[in-house]
Amino acid sequence: METALKDWDGEAIVVRYDRLTGAWIFIAVHSSRLGPATGGTRLKAYPDYQSALQDALRLAVGMTCKFAVHDFPRGGAKAVISTPGLLDRQSRRGLLLRYGTLIRQLNGMFYTGPDSGTSSEDMDVIAETGAPYVHSRTAARGGAGDSGLATSLGVFAAMQTTCERLFGGASLKGRRVLAQGAGSVGGRLIERLLADGAVVSFSDVDPNAIRRFRDERGLAFVPPEDVFDADCDIFAPCAMGNVLNRQTIPRLKCQAVVGAANNQIGAEGDAETLRERGILYAPDYVVNAGGALAITGMESLGWSSAQAEQEVRRIGDTLKRVFALADAEGITTEAAARRIAEARLQGWT
Ligand code: PHE
């Protein structure tokens, strides 16, 4: 753990142990170089506090790259709340209120929004004590609402760019897409894909998602243990991170990976392995920025919803630039995205 902390190149880490619930709160502020450090709040039960902290550190770096690659005036951060198992409604609410107070005390050092395990309704609660540093509240509370819709639109635009590159046309019609995760982003992505004529299969562990998409919509369901072996054109990780690693990459039978999950690449070197296998990887933070861009843009930069939608669609163009740079330099798409982000952070462009 000490090495992880020493190696991390961020600005600050705020730690709070919430005695009443036994939850750990870690706020990793990675960079405020391009603007106020902003990132979602992830809430789940981690096996130990070390893995929760590690996750926060990595996710915060991803947020810095995400805003930088899209030339958006925000810095990167992330909060992770690790709860001991499931909390009942009342204690969860108390935890979120105390977390909001902490954000308020930080006085603008950290802005947050939803992430896996939290919703716009949770942002309403956090904002009761944490305003004005809380994005993506419900419309009823004056926020821009759920970020999942914009995120799914950005992933879809990225898939169109990927299809253009692989098949010469941007349409998803007839393309076989496998969504790993059919939740708030994956579920909406699936709807968009179906509307465009894609052949969609999905995997999930949540019985509700399985009922909705397999039983009600008649989609092919891939059991979670088979998700890396299924034949498809595009594999779309839309759930957890670390899905592209030494164990899984050799099993993949897809032509491209384009999905919403954060931190898809397991370790350095895995992007290279994907490239060697001839699998086109659309870097996660390029693809999944839609929610953060749209919501933050509407709530703090005065964007209209039409403008937000236009900005989110531009994710497809940014991805085109990433692919082109990777080609020109003979590097991985991950390295290309990193180069563009770093150039912005250094003020070169
Ligand atoms: N979960 C979002 C992301 O990873 C974080 C976010 C959402 C930030 C909404 C701001 C507003 O990009």
pLDDT digits (tens, 9 = 90+) for 13-28: 999 999 999 999 999 9
Q: What string of DSSP letters covers 110-136?
A: -EEEE-TT--HHHHHHHHHHHTTSB--
For ligand 1, the distance from its centroid to the CA atom of residue 250, given in whole angstroms, is 31
Looking at residues 333-347, what average pLDDT do you find?
96
Give the pLDDT of residue 305.
Answer: 96
- Ligand 1: does its nearest atom lie under 6 Å from the Cβ of 135? yes
Cβ within 8 Å of residue 7, ≥6 positions away? none
* Alpha-carbon span 80 to 110, nearest angstrom: 13
**Averaged pLDDT, 201-212:** 97
Instruction: Return mean pLDDT, the chain.
Output: 97
Q: Residue 142 — very low, low, confident or very high, per pLDDT cuts 50/70/90?
A: very high
User: In this predicted structure, what is the pLDDT of residue 166?
Assistant: 96
pLDDT on residue 307 = 97
| Torsion angle in degrees (nearest 10) through CA of 202, 117, 84, 86 | -70
Ligand 1 centre to CA of 218 (Å) is 31
113 lines ligand 1 (CB under 6 A): yes
Catalytic residue among 6, 44, 78, 253: 78
**Mind giving me the DSSP string for 276-299?**
HTT-EE--HHHHT-HHHHHHHHHH
Determine if ligand 1 sits within 6 Å of the CB of residue 147: yes
pTM (2 d.p.)? 0.95
Rounded distance between C-alpha atoms, residue 341 and residue 213, angstroms: 37
- Is the pLDDT score of 277 beyond 80? yes
Residue 8 CA to residue 11 CA, distance in Å, equals 9
Q: Is 90 exceeded by the pLDDT of residue 347? A: no
CB of 114 closer than 6 A to ligand 1?
yes
Query: Region 103-122: what's the mean pLDDT?
Result: 97
Residues in the chain: 349
How many helices, marked H, and strands, marked E, lie in the chain?
13, 11
* Residue-wise pLDDT tens digits, 248-269: 999 999 999 999 999 999 998 9
Residue 137 class from Cβ within 10 Å (0-12 exposed, 13-18 middle, 19+ buried)?
buried
pLDDT at 202 over 80: yes
Residue 78 annotated to the active site: yes
Q: Is 34 helix (H, G, I), strand (E, B) or coil?
A: coil
* pLDDT surpassing 80 at residue 348: no
Nearest-atom index, ligand 1, CA of 289? 12
Confidence (pLDDT) at 226: 97
Give the list of residues 6+ apart from residue 226 with CB closer than 8 angstroms, or none: 203
Q: What is the mean pLDDT of residues 127-146?
A: 97
| Mean of pLDDT values over 194-208 | 97
Instruction: Give percent of the chain above pLDDT 70.
Output: 100
pLDDT tens-digit series, residues 60-82: 999 999 999 999 999 999 999 99
Which pLDDT belongs to residue 349? 65
Span from the CA of 55 to the centroid of ligand 1 (angstroms): 15
- C-alpha to C-alpha distance for 64 and 196, rounded to whole angstroms: 32
200 burial level (CB within 10 Å; 0-12, 13-18, 19+) = buried
71 touches 35 (CB < 8 A): no
